[in-house]
C-alpha cells in the first residue's frame, strides 16, 4: 500500500492545525476500539487515522459522531465516565479553536502568533 502523506490529507483539510487535531481525536477513538473506516490491516493507529482523513472518511464534520460511537464501544462504560469524556473533549475543542485562530492569524501575516500572558488579559 502506498504511503499516506500530509499533502494527501491537506486535500481534505485546509489547516495543518485542524489536521493534527482531527488525527489525534481519531487515534484516540481507534485506541478505544473504534472500527477502522479504511482497509489497512498492519498500520499503526496514526497511519490509519491519516489514511481515513486522506480518503475523506474522517472529517471535521463527522468526527463528533465518530467520537460518540467510539465512546459507546467502551466495555462497561458508565454514564458518568462518558459524560466526563465528553466534557474533556469540549475543553480540548475550545483550546484547539484558540490555537487554530492564532495559527490563522499567523498564516495571514497579521502577527507573529505569539500571545503574551499580559496581552490575554
Share of the chain above pLDDT 90, in %: 33
Query: Which residues lie below 8 Å from residue 31, measured CB to CB, with a gap of 6+?
Result: 45
- Three-class DSSP labels, 44-113: CHHHHHHHHHHCCCCCCCCHHHHHHHHHHCCCCCCHHHHHHHHHHHHHHHHHHHHHHHHHHHHHHCCCCC
The tens digit of pLDDT for each residue in 18-56 reads: 999 999 999 988 988 888 999 988 889 999 999 999 999
- pTM value is 0.60
Instruction: Give the whole-angstrom CA distance, residue 42 versus residue 8.
Output: 20
Domains and CATH numbers, the chain: 6-111 (3.90.940.10)
Amino acid at each position: 500500500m502506498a504511503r499516506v502523506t500530509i499533502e494527501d490529507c491537506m486535500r481534505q483539510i485546509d489547516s495543518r492545525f485542524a489536521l493534527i487535531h482531527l488525527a489525534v481525536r481519531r487515534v484516540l477513538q481507534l485506541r478505544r476500539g473504534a472500527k477502522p473506516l479504511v482497509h489497512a490491516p498492519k498500520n499503526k493507529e496514526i497511519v490509519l487515522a491519516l489514511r481515513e482523513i486522506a480518503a475523506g472518511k474522517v472529517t471535521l464534520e463527522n468526527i463528533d459522531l465518530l467520537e460518540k460511537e467510539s465512546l459507546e464501544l467502551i466495555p462497561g462504560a458508565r454514564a458518568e465516565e462518558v459524560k466526563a469524556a465528553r466534557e474533556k473533549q469540549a475543553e480540548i475543542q475550545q483550546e484547539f479553536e484558540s490555537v487554530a485562530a492564532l495559527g490563522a492569524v499567523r498564516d495571514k501575516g497579521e502577527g507573529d502568533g505569539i500571545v503574551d500572558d499580559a496581552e490575554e488579559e
